[in-house]
Amino acid sequence: MFKSVGKRVPRFDGIGHVTGKTVYPSDLSMPGMLVCKTLRSPYHCTRIHFIDTTEAEKVPGVYSVITHKDVPHNLFSMVPDHHVLAEDIARYKGQNIVAVAAVDKSTALKALSKVKIEMEELPYVIDPVEAMKEDAPKVRPEGNLRVFDDVDTVRRIRRGDVEKGFAEADYIVEGEYWTPNQEHAPIETTASLAYLDGNGKLVIHSKTQGLYFTLGDLSNVFQLPLNKLKMVGATIGGAFGGQNSIHTDHIAGVLALKTGKPVKFHLTREEEMMYTTIRSAWRFKIKDGIKKDGKITARYVDVLEDCGAYTELGLYALEKNVNYIGGANKIENLAIDGRLVYTNKMPSGSMRGFGVNIGQYAEQVQTDKLARKIGISPFEIRLNNAFKEGDENHVGNPLVAVSGIETLQKVAKMAGVELPKEYQEMSSK
């Protein structure tokens, strides 16, 4: 019946992979190519008093040494609050401060060792809960909690009346759930090759996952019109969300513009693991009201996202999280408070599920807890509360092609669980 479902379909690019002929950004090189290396913040929070690059520039084989002053527009990322090269304060360990383009790696590193830099370690905060306290070290000048829409530090979702829902419940069940940071760890570390073509157009071979998003962001950084900047995507050695953020393209690009030569910036494994964006850490506090028959009457969720030192994609992840944290359950009385807190860690990027599945971990464990509380099976609690066709989701969007009940029935069957008759006869229709 199906052409491809249930069958083995060789990848369109499989031959290139098995013969080693697929070219990844980290494989690229050009005649006369320079190598980029950067000086990174040694502390979690660093005040930079003074940088002198004179001696570094004198090292034979060094073409350019740049600081934030050399970057046409020093802010980038989706919420443009991240510095290409740190200015007066570096807010996380490993943040780029100075970049060098030189004939080879050892020359670039030698030049960095000659950079005179006066720095001071500032108080820092790593723990997201500590960061919310009044007297916590300030990660960002505007405060450690993100202000949404210039008015409020809480992103709120409200539906029905949770207090009324809790009053109607037979039981109140609470749970607190934490998830850690996670590195994407692609096997290919981030690499960029930037050069000026014969007509002065800046070309960047990039590992980006979002070519046009990166193009727009970088045209702002370089202050170049779009017809003067060309991004070249590629088959890449894994991204897992980590390449939605820019790690090397911006610096390689600025250095190519400065030197007029091809510049490659290829991160080491250590840099990739320690200094690029990560999945943020989250805390969820869930309070549910439930009736003896298994119906959830109300749910309150307190969401806290540890965003790291810059917003990057953390805001987008939080927005998605609060929209979905209620779960695939029809809950009439729902309140969600989402907060985004800054800490002195590498910024939060996107990673596999973009804040949604991480919330589902907490929500699903909590739902099992509810089932245990009233003594029904994990299937029954989910079937009791499942969305049906035409229901509105928690933020008011009508749901179409709903098949949650049918999916659960099938899963039960595959797991060898015999559902009671009334559950077998349920339908999403």
Partner 1 sequence: MSKVLKFVLNGMPVKVVAEPQETLLQVLREKLSLTSPKCGCNHGDCGSCTVILNGKAVKSCMIIALTVEGKSVVTVDGLGTDGKLHPVQQAFHEYGAPQCGYCTPGMVMAATAFLNENPNPSYDEVKDALAGNLCRCGGYQKYVDAVMAVAKGEFGPIPKGSDVDV
Partner 2 sequence: MREYFYEAPESLDELLGLLQGLNDEEVKLLAGGTDFVPKLSKELDEIPKEQKPPLHIIYMGNTGNNEIKEDSDNVYIGALVTLTEIEESNLIKQHLPVLIQAMEETAGHTVRNVATIGGNIMNASPAADSITPLLVLDAQFVLAGIDGSRTIAAKDFFTGPGSTVIDDKEVLTTIIIKKGKGKAAFKKLGRRKAETLSVVNAAAYIEMDNGICKAARLALGAVAPTAVRCYQTESKLVGKPVKPELIKEICSGVVEEINPIDDIRATAWYRKQVAPVMLERAINQACSEE
Rounded Cα distance between 427 and 420, Å, is 14
For residue 209 the two structure tokens come to 């996952």
What is the contact mask toward partner 2 in residues 79 to 118, using x (rule: CB under 8 A)? --------------------------xxx-xx-xx-----
Rounded Cα distance between 309 and 91, Å, is 6
Residue 65 CB, shortest distance to partner 2, in Å, is 13
| H or E segment to which residue 191 belongs | strand 191-196
Question: Which partner from the list partner 2, partner 1, none does 421 bind, CB cut-off 5 to 8 Å by kind?
Answer: none
Question: Which partner from the list partner 2, partner 1, none does 70 bind, CB cut-off 5 to 8 Å by kind?
Answer: none
Among 4, 19, 199, 227, binds partner 1 (CB under 8 A): 19
Rounded Cα distance between 258 and 139, Å, is 32
Among 55, 152, 174, 270, binds partner 2 (CB under 8 A): 270
Question: Which partner from the list partner 1, partner 2, none does 112 bind, CB cut-off 5 to 8 Å by kind?
Answer: partner 2
Residue 215 CB, shortest distance to partner 2, in Å, is 30
Rounded Cα distance between 43 and 95, Å, is 9
**How many residues touch partner 1 (CB under 8 A)?**
31
Rounded Cα distance between 362 and 22, Å, is 40
Residue type, 191: A
Give 99's strand partners. 38, 66
The neighbour count for residue 119, using CB atoms within 10 Å, is 16
Should residue 13 be labelled a site residue for partner 1 when binding is judged by CB under 8 A? yes
The DSSP code sequence of 102-120 is ESSHHHHHHHHHT-EEEEE
Q: Which is nearer to partner 2, 64 or 323 (CB)?
A: 64
Torsions phi, psi for 170 (to 5 deg): -85, -35
Give 286's strand partners. 175, 301
Spatial CB neighbours of 110, under 8 Å, sequence gap ≥ 6: 59
Site for partner 2 in 2-61 (CB under 8 A): 37, 39
Question: Which partner from the list partner 1, partner 2, none does 186 bind, CB cut-off 5 to 8 Å by kind?
Answer: partner 1
| H or E segment to which residue 166 belongs | helix 162-168
**How many residues touch partner 2 (CB under 8 A)?**
11
Q: Measured between alpha carbons, how far is residue 110 from residues 100, 326, 374, 387 in Å?
A: 10, 54, 67, 62
Question: Which partner from the list partner 1, partner 2, none does 220 bind, CB cut-off 5 to 8 Å by kind?
Answer: none
Question: Which partner from the list partner 1, partner 2, none does 1 bind, CB cut-off 5 to 8 Å by kind?
Answer: none
Q: Which is nearer to partner 2, 119 or 399 (CB)?
A: 119
Rounded Cα distance between 146 and 280, Å, is 15
Residue 136 CB, shortest distance to partner 2, in Å, is 28
Q: Which is nearer to partner 1, 148 or 240 (CB)?
A: 240
Number of residues in the chain: 429
Q: Which stretch binds partner 1 (CB under 8 A): 22-30, 75-83, 161-169, 284-292?
A: 22-30
Rounded Cα distance between 350 and 355, Å, is 8
Among 1, 15, 156, 216, binds partner 1 (CB under 8 A): 15
Should residue 25 be labelled a site residue for partner 1 when binding is judged by CB under 8 A? no
The neighbour count for residue 234, using CB atoms within 10 Å, is 19
Q: Which stretch binds partner 1 (CB under 8 A): 2-10, 132-140, 160-168, 353-361?
A: 2-10
Site for partner 1 in 173-212 (CB under 8 A): 185-189
Rounded Cα distance between 94 and 266, Å, is 15
Q: Which is nearer to partner 2, 235 or 268 (CB)?
A: 268
What is the contact mask toward partner 1 in residues 225 to 244, using x (rule: CB under 8 A)? ----------xxxx-x----
Q: Which is nearer to partner 1, 17 or 372 (CB)?
A: 17
Among 158, 269, 410, 429, binds partner 1 (CB under 8 A): 269
Give 300's strand partners. 287, 335
Give SS3 for 38: strand
Q: Which is nearer to partner 1, 8 or 69 (CB)?
A: 8
Residue 115 CB, shortest distance to partner 2, in Å, is 9
Should residue 268 be labelled a site residue for partner 2 when binding is judged by CB under 8 A? yes
Q: Do 249 and 208 touch, CB atoms closer than 8 A?
A: yes
Q: Which residues contact partner 1 by CB under 8 A?
A: 8-11, 13-24, 26-27, 29, 185-189, 235-238, 240, 268-269
Under the rule (CB under 8 A), what is the footprint of partner 2? Answer: 37, 39, 105-107, 109-110, 112-113, 268, 270
